[in-house]
Amino acid sequence: MTQRIDPVRLEIFKNLFHSVAEEMGAGLRRSAFSPNIRERRDYSCAVFDAHRNVLAMGDHMPVHLGSMPASVAAATAALQLEPRDAALLNDPYAGGTHLPDLTMVMPVFEPHANAATRRAAKTSRRPLFYLANRAHHADVGGAQAGSMGLSREIFQEGLRIPPVKILERGKVNRDVVNMLAANVRTPIEREGDLTAQIAACRIGERRLQAMLTKYGRKELNIYAQALLNYSEAMMRAVVRELPNGTYRAEDFLDDDGISESPLRIAVKIRVKGDRATVDFTGSSPECEGSVNAVRAIAESAVFYVFRCLVDEQIPATSGLMRPIEVIAPQGTIINALPPRAVAGGNVETSQRIVDALLKALAKAAPHKIPAASQGTMNNLTFGGMESRPGHPPGPFAYYETIAGGMGARPGFNGVSGIHTHMTNSLNTPVEVLEHALPLRVKMYAIRRNSGGEGKYRGGDGIIREFEALTEMQAALLSDRRKKGPYGLAGGKDGKPGKAELNAGKHKQILASKGAWHLKKGATLRIETPGGGGWGTP
């Protein structure tokens, strides 16, 4: 930290950049259409400097945190973004994570007082900032409604969008929207959500331009860089507190949904002074099914875990990652190559990467690290045709994730029925769900005694049971069905999760990953894993 940086201004600019991201998020949530965005808040917004460093992230979804810079990099590499343009993308192999996450990237230029100066400066201008927002859309086409099922290659997972301009000079590119609408199951809802994403970009642009007018680009730049240095200094202080050494751990995904064999996440964390290297060498090769992750997801998980070690409220900027190097060998399950299927990498593999990282860090700082939480998001999708009397007929696609048990912490029990680590999406209220979709929720309860025993008990999972009121397709992407989340320091493992389909006479325990046809009246019961315990009971 240099002497010239005023601690007062630093705090003020930190608040300003953060509030831009939060404002974008509030606008997106309030005007979005799908329950997944408006009720469950499965979105993120962020502000970047001209060099594509994150300056501020809203307190949204951790899994988006480390992966949004890749979107900005991909958009700017592929397109020449002009003022009032915005790029849209979802290609996991070009700045995305999995296909349902549609990301928008907008450049922000210096505002000009009048049109003449604007014309004069047009050619030489470069963006001073970038804004991005990412929202999980309930369907982007592909083999299964909800686009979150089991696939063998990305082409089955939905429409793949490389960076394209959705906004050109402030005008919506209808060609792109029409192309997208023609490839998804619920085009009207998609268009509504895209409009809300565009509106969020514009909210951010207005705020940043007002800041540019007020403080000037020079001052904003100085403090943007100071903010990055500030986060870096914070992270260095935290890493320095870890004892020097090499900490190894591994954890496993149950399977890829196609073969039965477990998939290894191996991690080696080397701490030296105020730097750390996180090496995933030794992780399983990329797999047949859809739990492959791209590199940005591995980085997100590392980012998240180290961010949690910082006990102060600090901004989630790219500076946090400067002292940390990530080694993610290509062709493995944490850095897959096209055309592998990736729907579950973002939501399942990301959680297991966190589990492996925490297991390793527990060796370095046993009293700062919790036992494993549920380690899955229990991704559940429904799709079909509405046929209830009194409801407008038409296709529907719905996506949700179900919370589970939190791992026990040294000194505290784990919390029951709560989202942990890489996600923090809300539930869809039962009353909103049943109003919007031909589903009835039969039970929504805490799964008693599913948390691991210990001096401190793991949190309990959840039981959520649905009845299909019309024929439909259901798909599940989940994990921790074979072995429960690990306990630490002598604590017992939490109970693994379970899913059961009951169609009258037939009762069937479902695999962790797959798609099923539900007849009218069939019930689907999901029991989510409990968290691991901490300490000998």
Partner 1 sequence: LRIAIDTGGTFTDCVFLRHGQIEILKVPSTPQNPSQAIAIALQEIAGRFAPSSIAPLDLICGTTVGTNALLQRRGGRVVLVTTAGFEDVLEIGRQARPKLYDFFGGRPEPLVPRERRLGLRERVGADGEVITKPSSRAIQALIRRVRRQRPDAVAICFLFSFANSAHEKSVAKVLRKAGLRVSASHEVLPEIREFERTSTTVVNAYLLPIMSNYLTAIEAIACRAIRGSATRTKTRVQVMQSNGGIISASAAAKEPVRTILSGPAGGVLGAEYIADLAGYDKIISFDMGGTSTDVALLEGAARTTDESQVDNLPVSIPMLDIHTVGAGGGSIARIDRGGALRVGPESAGADPGPIAYGKGEQPTVTDAHLLLGRLGRAALLGGEFPLDLERTRRYFESARKSAPAIRNIEQFAQGILDVVESTMERAIRLISIERGHDPRDYTLVAFGGAGGLHACGLAAALEIPRVLIPKIPGGLSALGILRADVVKDYSQTILQRASPSNLSDRKLQAAFHRLESQGLQETRAEGFARSQIRIQRTLDLRYAGQGHSLKLAATKNFAAAFHREHERRYGYSDPSREMEIVNVGVRLIGATPKPKPSRRSATKRSATLAIEAFEPVHFHGSSIKTRIYARARLQAGHRFDGPAIVTDYSATTAVLPNWRATVDSQANLILSPMPRTGRKP
What's the number of CA atoms in the CB half-sphere (13 Å) around residue 504?
Answer: 4
CA angle in degrees (0–180, nearest 5) for 106-112-116: 120
| Least spacing, CB of residue 169 vs partner 1, in Å | 17
Residues constituting the chain: 537
Q: Does 26 bind partner 1 (CB under 8 A)?
A: yes
Q: How far apart are CA 294 and CA 337, in angstroms?
A: 8
Four-residue CA torsion sign, 110, 116, 117, 118: positive
Closest CA to 486 of 529, 537, 526: 529
Q: Which of residues 95-154 bind partner 1 (CB under 8 A)?
A: none
Toward partner 1, which CB reaches closer, 2 or 124? 2
Q: Does 470 bind partner 1 (CB under 8 A)?
A: no
Stretch that binds partner 1, among 46-54, 176-184, 227-235, 494-502 (CB under 8 A): 227-235
Among 8, 115, 116, 509, binds partner 1 (CB under 8 A): 8
Stretch that binds partner 1, among 19-27, 162-170, 174-182, 330-338 (CB under 8 A): 19-27
Q: How far apart are CA 301 and CA 344, in angstroms?
A: 14
Q: How far apart are CA 305 and CA 361, in angstroms?
A: 9
Stretch that binds partner 1, among 251-259, 333-341, 401-409, 494-502 (CB under 8 A): 401-409
Q: Which of residues 316-355 bind partner 1 (CB under 8 A)?
A: 316
Toward partner 1, which CB reaches closer, 232 or 286? 232
What token pair was written down for 285? 């090769």
Contact 500, 519 (CB under 8 A): no
Binding mask 161-200 for partner 1 (x = CB under 8 A): ---------------------------xx--x--xx-xx-
User: Residue 529 carries which side chain, given as an amino acid letter?
Assistant: P
**How many residues lie near partner 1 (CB under 8 A)?**
85
Three-class SS state of 78: helix
| Least spacing, CB of residue 276 vs partner 1, in Å | 17
Q: Does 51 bind partner 1 (CB under 8 A)?
A: no
| Least spacing, CB of residue 355 vs partner 1, in Å | 13
Q: Which of residues 266-305 bind partner 1 (CB under 8 A)?
A: 304
| Least spacing, CB of residue 305 vs partner 1, in Å | 9
| Least spacing, CB of residue 164 vs partner 1, in Å | 21
| Least spacing, CB of residue 417 vs partner 1, in Å | 4
Toward partner 1, which CB reaches closer, 199 or 503? 199
Which residues 6+ apart lie within 8 Å of 356 measured at CB? 249, 250, 251, 265, 266, 267
Provide the edge-to-edge strand list for the sheet that holds 101-108.
Answer: 54-57, 43-49, 129-136, 101-108, 86-89, 164-168, 171-172
Which bin fits 124, alpha (ψ -120 to 50), beta or left (φ > 0)? alpha
> From the CB of residue 281, how many other CB atoms can be counted at a distance below 10 Å?
11
Query: Alpha carbon of 292 to those of 345, 349, 448: distances in Å?
Result: 5, 7, 32
Start-to-end Cα distance in the chain: 46
Q: How far apart are CA 511 and CA 100, in angstroms?
A: 23
Toward partner 1, which CB reaches closer, 182 or 237? 237
| Least spacing, CB of residue 270 vs partner 1, in Å | 22
| Least spacing, CB of residue 229 vs partner 1, in Å | 9
Toward partner 1, which CB reaches closer, 163 or 461? 461
Q: Which of residues 363-382 bind partner 1 (CB under 8 A)?
A: 368-370
What token pair was written down for 199? 């509106």
Contact 493, 486 (CB under 8 A): yes
Among 70, 108, 403, 488, binds partner 1 (CB under 8 A): 403
Q: Which of residues 410-469 bind partner 1 (CB under 8 A)?
A: 411-412, 415-420, 424-427, 429-432, 434-435, 440, 442-446, 462, 465
Computed over its alpha carbons, how large is the radius of gyration of the chain?
Answer: 23
| Least spacing, CB of residue 2 vs partner 1, in Å | 9
| Least spacing, CB of residue 360 vs partner 1, in Å | 15
Stretch that binds partner 1, among 116-124, 126-134, 408-416, 479-487 (CB under 8 A): 408-416
DSSP letter assigned to residue 3: T
Stretch that binds partner 1, among 5-13, 83-91, 244-252, 343-351 (CB under 8 A): 5-13
Among 17, 35, 451, 510, binds partner 1 (CB under 8 A): 35
